Structures are given as C-alpha cells and as structure tokens.
Amino acid sequence: MSTLNPTITGVASTAPRSAGSGPRKTREGQRKKVSNVFYSAIAVVVFVFSAFPVYWMINSSFLPTNMIRSADLTFFPGSSFTWNNYQTAIFNQERAPFLPALGNSVMVTFFVLIVSMVLAFMASLAVTRFNFKGRKAFIIAILAVQMIPGEAMMISIFRIIDGWQLLNSIIGLGIVYLSGVLPFTIWTLRGFVAGVPAELEEAAMIDGCSRSKAFWRITFPLLAPGLVATGVFAFIQAWNEFVMALIIMTRPESMTLPLWLRTFQQATQATNWGGLMAGSVLVAIPVVVFFLIVQGRMTGGLVSGAVKG
C-alpha cells in the first residue's frame, strides 16, 4: 500500500492542473479572436479612409460637370456615365495638350530613375564596403541635405539652371530632380547593402570566384528588393513633382503632367472638375502599372536572391 500512495498522490495532484488548462486556453483563444477583430476593424477603417478619395476621383471622372457641382452626392454614375471628361482631358486643344506633357513626364522620370539608381548604387557600395577618408563626413552630408526644404533653394536652383541654359529642358529638370532624389536613395540603399554580410562574397572568392563574379552572383541578387523599393520612390518622386517643374518648365510645350493638371484651373473660368478628375486618373495610371510590374520583385527578390546564392 505504501508503494501505491505516491502514484495516487501524483495523479491527484496533476488532475486539477490539467482540468484548469482547458478554460485558460479558451480564454486565450477568445482574447486572440477579440484582438483579431479589433485590428481587422482598424485595418478596414484605414483602408476606407485611404481608398475613398481614389474612388471619388474615379467616380467623378465619369460624371457630368453639373452633377459634380451638385449638392446631391452621386456615389455611382449609373445612367449619367460619360466619357466626355476623358475626351476633354486628352483632345481639348484650348489648354496645354496631354500627349506632349505625357512624353515630358516619361522622359524626365526615366532619366531620373536610371541615373539615380546607378549613382546611388555605386555610392552606397562605396560608403558601406570601403573605409576611405571623409566617409563619415559624406554620410553626415547626405543626412544634412535631406533636412533642407527644396523651396528654400528655389531661387538658387533657378539661377543655376538658367546660367547653364537648361530652362525648359528635360536634362535641366532631371538634374534638379536628381539633387533631391539622390540623398534619399543613397541612404536607403546603404541600409540594404549593409544588411548583406561581406563574408558571403569572401566565401565565394575562397571557392574560386573573382570579386566581381562573387558580387554579381551572390550580393547583387540579395540587393534586388532594395533596388526595386528605392526605384519606386525615385519614380514616384519624379513623376509627381510639381514645384520645381513650375519654375523650370515655363513654356506650355515643356509642361510635365502635374503642370498640365493645373491648366484645368483658370482665373477667368470655372474649374473643370470633371476634366481635372479624369486627368488625375490618367496621371495615376502609370504609377499603378509600374508598381504592379515591380511589386513581385519587392516581395520575392530577397528569397530568390538567397536561393541563387
């Protein structure tokens, strides 16, 4: 009998704990469900708050101007659906034409995108992989430049570009955009390069790869998501910029798309809200298409790079 007491006592002592674990797990599961519902509700509110202006822009672009100005809200065009706003935005010759503005925006955007990616990539490699004199000063200068608002340098920039005889030119506007985009792209890419251990290249070189081959086969694929993310920023920054384009591109034929949108608001006429909304949709489409093209690289680039390595 004495040998059975410990066993019986042990069973009796563990029984209450096992019985109490069920309600505890149930309470934890209920808390998780409540928290999931709470966070999901917040996400829905944030999404609606962010997406509604886009929906209203698209909806208004298909409405007649009189319905847009009406006090009654129209959440869906219905029988009032019209393409006239898009026809006015694209083909109306009374204001600056759409196609030249589109061409100017495309050229300056891809100029800034390509040049900024090449220069920022080389600069980020230099400040991350090599110790040279003035390295810390260069990094501090990058941070300091980003703290200066572009509007504070508008007069200086205008005089410089005018002195170079680059007003109303893609190159002149591209140089101005590069001065604003490069500091951020260098700083962002520097973080991605620093996150890739240099030991990976050293291991590949021990296995017989040259330094350049080790970089392009091991390090570069791991940097792909960083390059894409930084490229998206450079693209959006150059595509949507308005203030600098306003002082550099002064001729109607030199307008970019943000300046072209301004032509729907005139001092002597009422604002053409339908045409303005249609034009805004046309301006937003290339950005959305560009993001859809590269978003796969943003999410899968790190994994694919690691597999290749």
Confidence band for 238, pLDDT divided at 50, 70 and 90: very high
User: What gap in Å lies between CA 221 and CA 208, rounded to an integer?
Assistant: 19
Q: What is the pLDDT at residue 1?
A: 45
Percent of the chain with pLDDT over 70: 87
Q: What is the pLDDT at residue 302?
A: 41
Q: What is the pLDDT at residue 117?
A: 94
> Mind listing the pLDDT tens digit for each residue in 77-131?
888 889 999 998 998 777 778 999 999 999 999 999 999 999 999 999 888 888 8
User: What gap in Å lies between CA 185 and CA 142, rounded to an integer?
Assistant: 10
Q: What is the pLDDT at residue 20?
A: 55
Of 118, 92, 144, nearest in space to 263 by CA: 92
Other CB atoms within a 10 A radius of the CB of residue 93 amount to 6
> What residue has token string 């609606």?
48
Q: Are 257 and 168 in contact (CB under 8 A)?
A: no
Cβ density class 96-130: b for 16+ within 10 Å, e for less: bbbeebbebbeebbebbbebbbeebbebbbebbee
Amino acid, res. 114? I
pLDDT, average across residues 196-207: 84
pLDDT, average across residues 158-183: 94
pLDDT, average across residues 260-270: 82
Query: Does residue 304 surpass a pLDDT of 60?
Result: no
Q: Are 194 and 139 in contact (CB under 8 A)?
A: no
DSSP symbols for 165-210: T-TTSHHHHHHHHHHHHHHHHHHHHHHHHHTS-HHHHHHHHHTT--
What H or E segment, with its residue span, contains residue 288? Answer: helix 273-308
Q: Which range scores top for mean pLDDT: 142-156, 163-177, 269-283?
A: 163-177
> Mind listing the pLDDT tens digit for each residue in 41-53?
999 999 999 999 9
Could you tell me the pTM of the whole model? 0.79
Query: Does residue 283 surpass a pLDDT of 90?
Result: yes
Give the angle subtended at the CA of 105 by the CAs of 62 and 100, to the nearest 5°. Answer: 75
User: What gap in Å lies between CA 114 and CA 131, rounded to an integer?
Assistant: 27
Structure tokens at 295: 């978003």
Other CB atoms within a 10 A radius of the CB of residue 170 amount to 21
Query: Does residue 249 surpass a pLDDT of 80?
Result: yes
Q: What is the pLDDT at residue 252?
A: 87
> Mind listing the pLDDT tens digit for each residue in 48-79?
999 999 999 999 999 998 888 877 788 888 88
Confidence band for 21, pLDDT divided at 50, 70 and 90: low
